[in-house]
Chains A and B, each alone.
Chain A
Amino acid sequence: MAAAAATTAISLTRAFIPCQGGSTRSLPFRKKERQCMRKAGPCMITAKFELKPPPYPLNALEPLMSRDTLEYHWGKHHRTYVENLNKQIVGTELDGMALEDIIVSTYNKGDLLPAFNNAAQAWNHEFFWESMKPGGGGEPSGELLELIIRDFGSFEGFIKEFKAAAATQFGSGWAWLAYKANRLDVGNAVNPLPSEEDKKLVVVKSPNAVNPLVWDYSPLLTIDVWEHAYYLDFQNRRPDYISTFMEKLVSWEAVSLRLEKAKARATEREKEEERRREQEEVKMADDETTETHLESDADDSEAK
């Protein structure tokens, strides 16, 4: 199966390449899928990112978001980002990396590398399609709602903040709800006083292709506020588009599911860090023993 797919990849560069198992991918991490292409043979294998369709037909959001908009937005804009990314990374060190890793790596701490825009836009759009559903909107429930109330005061407070972020993003960009786990991503520094409260929901906006992955947040919900996202349906009326999205399109089930994964990821990372700290402590203890041993050696030789 993998070998067959690899052959297809070589002869038909734009071909849809099925993955072993063909199971539905789970955002945000999907390293496995790309790795399966790598094992296929000794020749240079080019793994391709695919243009994944929205999880509903293109006319399913009408009349709130027209089929016309979806045909251009998914069929042209999103497709172009994916195709250009594939062309851009072929044969480079980025080829074969998970999309999320490409995004963080090419963000390059804010000094963007050429593949960043296409990589991040490819990711953002897929995440955006999956943030909506026909008959969406309403209110979230369960833990998501509890955290929203905890961190924004009320659901209405959250809606107000999210809408404001989307409306005031100057120019093209995105507004996000994200889960911010307890991390200080500054090399050796550790949070001197970690607490459960550090892990919280935040609303952020980002220009052009930037997304919260580059700040090491876990995105939960996004709205595209590039003009191409709403111009055919709403023209200049961005606030109307934002209200429609929040009130009638958001898939709170998707957001809840992402929250669960984000929390699991944060827990996993905490465990990893704990393991690393323990290993370091053991290593340091070992080093100290060696040093003492050497010192006593030196003492011995001096005595002789």
Chain B
Amino acid sequence: MALRTLATRRRLGLGFQSIRGFQTFSLPDLPYDYGALEPAISGEIMQLHHQKHHQTYITNYNKALEQLDAAMAKGDAPTVVKLQSAIKFNGGGHVNHSIFWKNLAPVHEGGGEPPKGSLGSTIDTNFGSLEALIQKMNAEGAAVQGSGWVWLGVDKELKKLVIETTANQDPLVTKGSLVPLLGIDVWEHAYYLQYKNVRPDYLKNIWKVMNWKYASEVYEKECP
């Protein structure tokens, strides 16, 4: 266990390991301490969010994959289909949170510093200004009914930045050929202990720890 944790430390991919014929997933480490995003996001929230919520998505995703594996081996078509919703929800939860942790950074490690280079200028072209983009994402994030995410993505075909929202744990890939640059979790578990019912305040503050460096790297890789 300790060994696996060491091996996955700092890797932060969708950490996985192979059991039998298919790969199961394990919780990626955070690239910063739980309290490192304070005061924007409390250490308590980060710890529960990472250790409990993300872990549960992974546990249930692995369970669903195991059942899928068995159903496919048996040629059990109805079960294969039935498992799709659990796979989408829990697999999506794993994919989304893995991106989310990388989207954030402590202030002393560059969190909140505006994007530079080509992403910065594309944002100005597409949205007018960074401030306008932030306002638009905050408005769309605040308007998500129930649980979900608001994303800044790049449309690979149109080479254009887009803002999208997804319900529950639907990952951005469910919206077409979009690559996520930034995802903001607007589930209540992401902010409730600190911000209670005031989601807009959480949205306002999260930009203080936004890791634009990560978003820029993804953008430059997709749109060189």
Which residues of A pack against B, CB within 8 Å?
Answer: 72, 76-77, 80, 117, 170-173, 207-209, 226-228, 231-232, 235-236
Contacts and interface: CB of A to CB of B under 8 A. Distances in A.
Given A117-B145, A173-B146, A76 B168 contact: no
B192 A231 contact: yes
Given A170-B168, A172-B145, A228-B197, 13 more contacts: A76-B196, A117-B145, A171-B147, A171-B167, A171-B169, A208-B146, A209-B145, A227-B147, A228-B192, A232-B193, A235-B48, A235-B193, A236-B189
Query: What 6 A-B pairs are tightest by C-beta distance, nearest first?
Result: A172-B146, A171-B168, A227-B188, A171-B147, A208-B146, A236-B52
Contacts of A235: 48, 52, 189, 193
Contacts of A228: 188, 192, 196-197
Interface of B: 48, 52-53, 56, 85, 89, 145-148, 167-169, 187-189, 192-193, 196-197
A277 to B, nearest CB: 40
B53 A236 contact: yes
Given A80-B197, A170-B168, A171-B146, A231 B188 contact: yes
A235 B56 CA distance: 13
Contacts, number: 54
Contact of B197 (A72, A170, A171, A173): A72
Contacts of B56: 236
A139 B123 CA distance: 60
B146 A226 contact: yes
A226 B145 CA distance: 11
A77 B48 contact: no
Given A72-B197, A232-B192, A232-B193, A171 B187 contact: yes
Nearest to B51: A236
Nearest to A121: B145
Contacts of B85: 170
A270 B206 CA distance: 55
A76 B188 CA distance: 14
23 contacts: A76-B196, A170-B85, A170-B89, A171-B147, A172-B146, A172-B188, A173-B146, A208-B145, A209-B145, A227-B187, A227-B188, A227-B189, A228-B188, A228-B192, A228-B196, A228-B197, A231-B188, A231-B193, A232-B192, A232-B193, A235-B48, A236-B53, A236-B56
